[in-house]
Amino acid sequence: MYSPVQPKGNERDQIKEKKRMQLIVLLTNKFRNKFSVNNVTEPAIDKVIREEIEKLLQDGTTYESNLNKLDKKLEAMIKEHRAKTRNTVAPAAAAQTMDPRDHPYRASQ
């Protein structure tokens, strides 16, 4: 019946934190989609994205220019990481790849 009155400051802090978490999820999904990152197959890249977003939002003030810088930074980091991964995995994968012309389901001509 009767509930104690909560201070306004605490309620505002909770709302701010909730909005901050929503922004983190939104930005994480945005960058995942933009760079075609699958968080299951590329967990290292996904972790980098989340950490960089956390750093961006730590100080409490975020501007469009900061988001643009983050975008460029993530693009460079992801390209670098994928290039490293491709170079270490490529030799083993190259030996296993099949010429599409030799595919068993390809119709004979």
pLDDT tens by residue, 31-69: 999 999 998 999 999 999 999 999 999 877 888 999 999
25 belongs to a structural domain: yes
Does residue 92 fall inside a structural domain? no
In this structure, is residue 29 part of a structural domain?
Answer: yes
For the stretch 2-23, pLDDT in tens is 556 655 778 999 999 999 999 9
Q: Which of 24, 18, 15, 12 is closest to 55 using CA atoms?
A: 24
d(CA 47, CA 43): 6
108 or 36, higher pLDDT:
36
Domain count of the chain?
1
Residue 9 lies in a domain: no
Residue 78 has which token pair? Answer: 């992801």
* Residue 101 maps to a domain: no
Radius of gyration of the CA atoms of the chain, in A: 23
For residue 81, pLDDT over 80 is answered with yes
Structure tokens at 93: 């994968």
Query: Looking at the domain assignment, is residue 45 inside a domain?
Result: yes
Structural domain containing residue 28 = 15-84
Cα 41 vs. chain centroid, distance in angstroms? 12
Close Cβ partners of 100 (under 8 Å, ≥ 6 residues apart): 106
Contact assessment for residue 50 and residue 31, using Cβ atoms and an 8 Å cutoff:
no
